[in-house]
Amino acid sequence: MSEWFADFKSIELFYLICAVIGGAFLIFKMVLMFIGGDIDADVDIDVDVDLDGGFDMEAGHADSDVGFHLLSLISLSSFFMMFGLVGLTCYRQYHLHALISMVGSITGGSLSVWIIGKIFQGASKLQSSGTLKTADAVGCTGTVYLNIPQNGTGRVTLNFHNHLREFDAITSDGSALDTGSPVRVVEVKARVLYVEAIH
């Protein structure tokens, strides 16, 4: 094996080491992503606070492009892999000057980072968070599921973003509503819907 590398110059060995290390880390990271071993602690949390003292807190999942950032393991690995491969090809195969091969290798590494970034950006557009914000229920219609007593709380079912959901509800004017009454949401406070009867 050492005979194969005997005629390699120091710059060629540098390019080769960059390509091998970058490629190994890139393959390792991709394998972890595909088998589910990739762990990331980034979680988005949205908190909606209104002046009446209520709050609405919803935790979302990490985005699909969270694995790719400018200084992530994937971007650095892909940069060094392409840096090494392009530099080695330019210098050893095409016998270009060391400075030209260095410019080519930096360009190749940067281009690979840009392409992988675009791939992850495209993948992020295909995702859906699945998080439903209760505040978005204003204007939705539904029916009373459990009687809403006068100045009390009952339950309503709504067709909320094409999902049938059940929420605690109070009438906006304090009146009572029987089961099956059609209602419209007029306000949301602390995950409780304020509804009005639809006549």
Q: What share of the chain is helix, strand, coil (3-state, %, to 5)?
A: 40, 25, 35
- The H-or-E segment that residue 184 falls in is strand 182-189
Q: Which residue has the tokens 């999902």?
A: 163
pLDDT digits (tens, 9 = 90+) for 147-165: 999 999 999 999 877 778 8
In the chain, domain spans: 10-125, 134-197
User: Is 80 exceeded by the pLDDT of residue 28?
Assistant: yes
Q: Look up residue 163 and give its amino acid.
A: H
Give, in order, the Cα–Cα distances in Å from 179 to each of 11, 64, 147, 148, 186. 80, 42, 5, 8, 19
Question: Residue 18: pLDDT band by 50, 70, 90 thresholds?
Answer: very high
CA 133/CA 185 separation, integer angstroms: 14
pTM above 0.75, yes or no: no
Contacting residues for 75 by C-beta, under 8 A, at least 6 apart: 68, 69, 113, 116, 117
Domain topology for 134-197: OB fold (Dihydrolipoamide Acetyltransferase, E2P) (2.40.50)
Residue 55 has pLDDT above 60, yes or no: no
* Single-letter residue type at 189: K
Amino acid at 71: L
pLDDT, tens only, 87-132? 999 998 888 999 999 999 999 999 999 998 888 888 777 766 556 6
Q: What confidence tier does 59 reach under pLDDT thresholds 50, 70, 90?
A: very low
How confident is the prediction for the chain on average, in pLDDT? 80
Structure tokens at 48: 């909606």
pLDDT of residue 129: 58
Single-letter amino acid code for the residue at 32:
L
Please provide residue 40's backbone torsions phi and psi, each rounded to the nearest 5 degrees: -140, 135
Q: Please tell me the least confidently modeled range out of 79-88, 117-126, 166-175.
A: 117-126
